[in-house]
């Protein structure tokens, strides 16, 4: 048996206001769209904002459905919308903010597993890393230089 060690690294910003100006604007858009999420069941709202290489910004919020699991997470709404509207554009940066209607979320909240896989698909498709910034409602913001930090063992088309 051989053991391997994987290491990931993240940049940590003490607060949203410490972000670079372009990312702060992106995070503010994620927060704004988060407030419009349709989350009557979980009471957990997520907003995602994507910065594309064509200068456009694409937004997404989670959309729930009484027939679980028919809803979609904010990250996938934004990524899929980007792919549909701007199929040739590369996603450069993604900002994510999550909040609960029932308690304050102060820890950074990363994308779920299904969203990680979807984001990974677009990193492979565009052959370019996506910077991912994520936070709760308040508090620190984590930055990952690539989805590979969040999902080191990715499943891609090379396995098919």
- HSE, CB side, 13 Å, CA atoms: give it for residue 160: 3
Nearest Cα to 134, choosing from 63, 48, 56, 73?
Answer: 48
Tally of CB atoms within 10 A around 88: 9
137 is an active site residue: no
Contact present, 147 and 115 (Cβ < 8 Å): no
99-to-2, 9, 76, 79, 95 alpha-carbon distances in Å: 41, 24, 17, 20, 14
Of the listed 75, 88, 131, 137, which one is catalytic?
75
Active-site positions read 75
């Amino acid at each position: 048996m051989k053991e391997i060690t994987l290491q990931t690294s993240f940049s940590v910003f003490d607060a949203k206001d410490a972000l670079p100006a372009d990312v702060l604007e992106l995070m503010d858009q994620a927060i704004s769209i988060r407030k419009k999420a349709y989350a009557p069941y979980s009471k957990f709202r997520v907003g995602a904002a994507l910065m594309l290489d064509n200068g456009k910004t694409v937004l997404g919020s989670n959309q729930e459905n009484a027939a679980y699991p028919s809803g979609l997470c904010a990250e996938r709404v934004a990524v899929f919308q980007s792919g549909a509207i701007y199929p040739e554009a590369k996603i450069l940066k993604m900002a994510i903010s999550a909040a609960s209607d029932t308690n304050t979320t102060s820890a950074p909240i990363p994308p779920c597993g299904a969203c990680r896989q979807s984001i990974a698909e677009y990193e492979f498709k565009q052959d370019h890393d996506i910077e991912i910034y994520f936070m709760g409602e308040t508090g620190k913001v984590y930055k990952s230089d690539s989805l590979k930090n969040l999902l080191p063992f990715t499943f891609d088309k090379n396995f098919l």
